[in-house]
Chains A and B, each alone.
Chain A
Amino acid sequence: MASSGLELLWVSAPQLLTGIGRTLGISALAIVFSSVGGLVYGVLRNLGIRWLDTILLIYLEAFRAIPVLVWLYLFFFGLPIFFGWSIPGFWCAVLVLSLWGISETGEVVRGALRSIPRGQREAGLAIGLGLPGLYGRVLLPQALQRMTPPMINVFTRIIKTSSLAVLIGVVEVIKIGQQIIERTYESVLIYGFLFLFFFFVCYPLSAASRVLERRWSHS
């Protein structure tokens, strides 16, 4: 007799956990890469070096204009066809979500740096700080508070967008849910589970954001 209700969730737990593992794995890796990459991008764009800015702008516009889905397709299907390079679906998703994530977090970092009064930069330079010291000790610490809410926003969007990976063959948690629904028609139960899953992953990020914001406010 096929299971239903909570028993179904229990029986499907191994599959769901595998899917959760993939969703969280892709998201966590993409979030980490986006954070680091975004800091680098934001600082680099803030330096005002013309040729560097141009390259970064091209990168930014590419990921703004072209949907993540198309990038997934290009990297997953296009690379093998055009160049013979094959990237497994999971890593392809991490790569594309990271590149997209960096384009978003990078602009957040840049915006936060730009919102710091210009005098802070001058005061830092005036006591003899070089660029690493200026950014590391004066600008980035102040940028942290301004960056936090939009960064968390990008992170939750990365988590939600990870479900696009199903189209390149990655069986993440939403796909697992749909597989179960197709077999059992328990859509309310399964979507309810998915709702709670995403809520309990994303909500703590929001809450953490508020805590950090308060902690880092200096003015």
Chain B
Amino acid sequence: MSALIELSGFSKRFGDVPVLQDVDLQVKEGEVLVILGPSGCGKSTLLRCLNGLEAGHAGHYRFVGRELAANTDWRLVRQQIGMVFQSYHLFPHMSVLDNVLLGPVNVQKRPKAEARQQAETLLARVGLLDKRDAFPRELSGGQQQRIAIVRALCMNPKVMLFDEVTAALDPEMVKEVLEVILDLARSGMTLLIVTHEMAFARAVADRVLFMDGGRIVEQADPETFFSSPQTARAQQFLEKFSYVENMPKRNAS
């Protein structure tokens, strides 16, 4: 079965600093891939290269079998790749519904009635239909992020990219967003998720990618990765999280 996304020897640098080095990756349709790694390891950059927000310098990128070079016209490609950002970036001057409809109606030129119906269905699915006429500034972070997900979904993309989408949220709102992503995973959508939420990663992923210094250092299914990481760097990385999860009490005797 041919892959939806194929990276081979993909590299990128910022000036002289290498950010991605020789990345080989294949993502099948319906797969949920979680990318983990210390900050600066290139995981966000990798995501941003997939929809052309960043450009690679070497190697190949194939999307649905089509080779995409840095000078591709990304507009059409981006309609098939949905992206959700850490700071949601809803358009503040538009209502929620207008935010969601901008892509389908103005970019994909779909009839407004049909697009609106899909938009409302999706909004209902995330529990925010009653907010369709509200403006982003009236909503909480968790609500805005859920709407950002709907905005991306309404384009009917083949794959969704999530770039640390809960990192900027107050902890009590993280759950509502993760539930939406879980729901998407269950429905068979292809997802690439960059996150720090380890338990969530363990629960949702089909495959875990661990990156460090711009390279994919280890890949495995979640159970294997979390219980017995193979490389030293992955072990060190996970140890930091388990320390926090299992911190010794202050006055331990």
Binding site for B on A (CB under 8 A): 117, 119-120, 122-130, 133, 137-138, 141-142, 216, 218-219
Give the dominant DSSP class at A's interface.
helix
B155 touches A127 (CB 8 A): yes
A122 touches B89 (CB 8 A): yes
Min CB–CB distance A73 → chain B (angstroms): 44
User: How far is A133 from B106 in the complex, measured between Cα atoms in Å?
Assistant: 8
User: How far is A142 from B135 in the complex, measured between Cα atoms in Å?
Assistant: 14
Residues of A within 8 A of B52 (CB): 125
A127 touches B137 (CB 8 A): no
Most chain-B CB neighbours within 10 Å: which of A126, A130, A138, A216?
A126
Of the candidates B83, B87, B92, B137, the one whose C-beta lies within 8 Å of that of A126 is B83
Residues of B within 8 A of A126 (CB): 51, 53, 78, 81-83, 85, 152
B53 touches A218 (CB 8 A): no
Residues of B within 8 A of A219 (CB): 92, 137
A119 with B89, Cβ < 8 A, contacts A125-B53, A137-B102 known: yes
Most chain-B CB neighbours within 10 Å: which of A122, A124, A141?
A122
Min CB–CB distance A214 → chain B (angstroms): 14
Q: List 17 A-B contacts (CB under 8 A).
A: A117-B89, A119-B85, A120-B91, A122-B83, A122-B85, A123-B148, A125-B52, A126-B78, A126-B83, A127-B78, A127-B102, A128-B75, A128-B78, A128-B107, A129-B75, A130-B75, A218-B136
User: How far is A216 from B51 in the complex, measured between Cα atoms in Å?
Assistant: 32
Taking A126-B82, A127-B102 as known contacts, 7 extra A-B pairs with beta carbons closer than 8 A to each other, sorted by chain A number, are: A120-B89, A123-B91, A126-B78, A126-B85, A126-B152, A133-B106, A218-B137
Residues of B within 8 A of A218 (CB): 92-93, 135-137
Interchain residue pairs A-B with the least CB separation, the first 10: A127-B103, A123-B89, A218-B92, A119-B89, A128-B79, A128-B107, A126-B83, A128-B78, A218-B93, A141-B93
- In the complex, the chain A residue whose C-beta lies closest to that of B78 is A128
Binding site for A on B (CB under 8 A): 51-53, 74-76, 78-79, 81-83, 85, 87, 89-93, 102-103, 106-108, 135-137, 148, 151-152, 155
A137 touches B106 (CB 8 A): yes
Of the candidates B74, B87, B93, the one whose C-beta lies within 8 Å of that of A125 is B74
Of the candidates A120, A127, A133, the one whose C-beta lies within 8 Å of that of B151 is A127
B91 touches A128 (CB 8 A): no
- In the complex, the chain A residue whose C-beta lies closest to that of B76 is A128
Residues of B within 8 A of A123 (CB): 85, 89-91, 148
User: How far is A48 from B148 in the complex, measured between Cα atoms in Å?
Assistant: 28
Min CB–CB distance B33 → chain A (angstroms): 19
Min CB–CB distance B94 → chain A (angstroms): 8
Min CB–CB distance A206 → chain B (angstroms): 23
- In the complex, the chain B residue whose C-beta lies closest to that of A216 is B93
